[in-house]
Amino acid sequence: MIFKRKPKQADIFSDLPKVTEVREAVKADTRKRGRRAMLIPDAPYNDDPAADLLLANTGKQKEQWLSIIFESEVREAKQLAIAAFLQNNYRVQKWWANSIALMYLKWRVQAKNTSSEDNLLRLTVEVPTTVGLCYNLFNSTSLYGESFRRFLKLVQDEKLVISFSDNTRATASFVLSEYGCSVIVEHEFLDTAAARKEKSKYWQQIFQELVSQVSR
């Protein structure tokens, strides 16, 4: 006996309109990307974010971030490099990374009376010339030799902040004095007595060269 295959019955629901499945779009700014959940302010980057918001959105306080950046390879870098370092290594959201970078740069250019006196070399020299000329003489990259990296801050006739390749920093301040211009140099982040002795010799040579130059 030969059995015939039954014809396939049509789906009784085939004549009904099909509804396309709708999936709710996920907004890009709320999508999880492996970073901390952070509130992103609708404002320009801020070099002085509120302490409670900084802690809540980054997990660390101001002093902790300053210490982390200062002890890293980007301690003398610019804003974009510091922000990228925070994003790549600490998963900090872009707005907060840039704000922390600005906060660090603001702290970095300040005269550091907060630096440990043990790590600070302070020298003073009297240069027999005007404050303006003295400032211009110090504002010369060739004066500092191969260890010079760049100027971090320039305040005309008042102050120079200088970065060196050994990750130390010096602030030279210029003050009108009875003999011409008094130059006060504060060289920071010298961790050992040997480093302070070496930098003292380095600055004394610079001072002698400048005084000799203006005395001719």
The mean pLDDT values, 10 residues at a time, for the chain of 216 residues are 60 57 43 60 90 92 88 88 95 95 85 60 92 94 92 87 89 90 91 92 94 85
Assess whether 57 and 85 both reside in one domain. Answer: yes
Q: What is residue 137's predicted lDDT score, i.e. its pLDDT?
A: 94
Residue 156 domain boundaries = 117-214
Same domain, 201 and 146: yes
Q: How high is the pLDDT of residue 4?
A: 60
CATH assignment at residue 123: 3.30.530.20
DSSP-derived letter for residue 149 is: E
How much is the pLDDT for 86?
96
Does residue 97 form part of some domain? yes
Distance CA 83, CA 78 (A): 9
- Whether 104 maps to a domain, the answer reads yes
Total of domains in the chain: 2
Report yes or no on 169 lying in a domain. yes
159 shares its domain with 184: yes
Residue 104 contacts residue 82 (beta carbons within 8 Å): yes
Could you tell me if residue 28 is inside a domain? no
User: Do 63 and 136 belong to one domain?
Assistant: no
Given this model, what pLDDT does residue 117 score? 63
